Amino acid sequence: MVIQTNIAAMNAQRQYKINTGKKAKTTEKLSSGYKINRAADDAAGLAISEKMRRQVKGLTRATENTEDGISLCQVADGALAEVHDILNRMTQLSVQAANGTLNDEDRNAIEQEIGALKEEIDRIGRDTTFNEKKIFRDIRGYGDEYYENLPHLISSPSTETGHLSEGYPAQGGGYYSAASMDLSAVNAQNIDMLYGKSFSFVCPYGCNEVFDITLTSDPAGTSSVSNTGNQHYYSIGVNGVSSGDALADAIINGVKAHPVYSSGELGTGGYQVSHASALAKSGGKLYVYSYGNKYASEEAAANAYRNAVGARASVNFDQLVDVTYPPYEKTLWIQTGVEAGHGMYLTIDKMDSEQLGINSIHVDEQEAAGLSIKLIKRAMQDISSRRSDIGAQQNRLEHTVNSNNNTVENTQAAESRLRDADMSKEMMSLTLQNVLAQSGESMISNANQSRQDILSLLQ
């Protein structure tokens, strides 16, 4: 019997602290409703749960985006439905004017109403808006001039000469003769415009090696090469590329994966593809340059091959530089998913009396009224086609909403199984821990009571 060390009490206290710690965690779970309140509760479960939460929150917002797209389609369809009614009225007036019982004064009166209806069609095409976007005019973000001056996706000063007529800054100073393509406008929404396009360049020295690189719809990172003598034909997948910088990486890495020369990284800051040619990227541009000679100035490097004869040091970026944003396609991006590039474009054509082919119709003469009937019929067919197209896009958006809602529901259910506390199970655990805590308190008391027995011996 000792008094300095009470092993029984220490053991009882240790167990008591363990049980009270468990009780605190169980109480926290019951209070919050979550079984994972911190990473320590379930590190792997927390990581998985947070990914699911990201998907759920992103898809919820994407669904709202999609519903906005549906609303825009409904506004456009409603406007075109009114144009349909106007065209029906114009048909009535044209049929009336084509009747031989009318005189010139009657037809002039009908002509006035026809003119007013044409003006109303133009007003609808000009002023129909959704969230301050004019649906039939500048929804594309370019305005009317967009149809005449289509912007190019990729540009290159070297297309004018067809040779290495630019300068690439060398490490340590100086410049190499180069050609570049500005890829900064490329993104996940327009990368598919480059599928099937190619560019080529020729070694600037006497080897005459030709590199022809075609961009494909294969996933980014996939590539292959076919060699015929000194002709090297690359196919490089770029599907999934989300920026011009990433496109340059995909091209360079695609060539790296299938070297045709003793290629490697150069101290000049690029990747060697032949005994005199290299690829590099800088500032959103892809460079092809000759690392054989270094020039003191950028102008000297640009002029070194500017007037080269034949294929030597030539480049051909024409297919990529000629890519322009189409005037009637891919007009309004709707982000319908949680990842970059997950969505669809809405296409709504420009609409006014000129586009419908009725801007010049007249009914002030019987023969002109007969022609107007034909033109208005054709315009009604055009409007029907436009409405059908908008309706198809609206149906697609509605299916997307249903799909997103289904995904959110099932993902939320999976996340709940990971994160949410089972209240009945936690209540059972709390009851057990309460009993154990009370038992621990009793055992501590009994262990301390043993000291009283020692006092009785000392009396």
CB-count burial class (<10 Å; 0-12, 13-18, 19+) for 364: middle
CA 261/CA 73 separation, integer angstroms = 55
Give SS3 for 272: strand
pLDDT of residue 459: 63
The tens digit of pLDDT for each residue in 271-321 reads 888 878 899 998 889 999 998 788 999 999 999 998 887 778 899 999 999
Query: Is 210 within 8 Å of 311 (Cβ atoms)?
Result: yes
DSSP for 305-341 reads: STT--TTTTBEE-HHHHT-B--SSSS-EEEE-SSSTT
The secondary structure element, H or E, covering residue 181 is strand 175-182
Q: How many residues does the chain have?
A: 459
The secondary structure element, H or E, covering residue 109 is helix 104-127
Query: Which pair of tokens denotes residue 304?
Result: 């070194």
The neighbouring-strand residues paired with 198 are 214
The secondary structure element, H or E, covering residue 349 is none
Give SS3 for 67: helix
State the fold for domain 70-136+347-398. Answer: f41 fragment of flagellin, N-terminal domain (1.20.1330)
Long-range contacts (CB closer than 8 Å, 24 or more residues apart) made by 262-270: 266/291, 267/171, 268/170, 268/171, 268/176, 269/170, 269/171, 270/168
**What is the CA angle 295-296-299, rounded to 5?**
75
pLDDT of residue 212: 95
Query: Is 287 within 8 Å of 178 (Cβ atoms)?
Result: yes
pLDDT of residue 454: 67
The neighbouring-strand residues paired with 130 are 133
DSSP for 18-66 reads: HHHHHHHHHHHHHHHSBS-SSGGG-HHHHHHHHHHHHHHHHHHHHHHHH
User: Could you tell me the residue ranges of all domains in the chain?
Assistant: 7-33+421-458, 70-136+347-398, 157-321
Cβ neighbours of residue 350 closer than 8 Å, sequence gap 6 or more: 125, 136, 137, 147, 328
pLDDT of residue 329: 45
Task: Count Cα atoms within 13 angstroms, Cβ side, for 46.
Answer: 10
Segments of the chain scoring below 70 in pLDDT: 1-6, 138-150, 206, 262-264, 266-269, 325-331, 448-455, 457-459
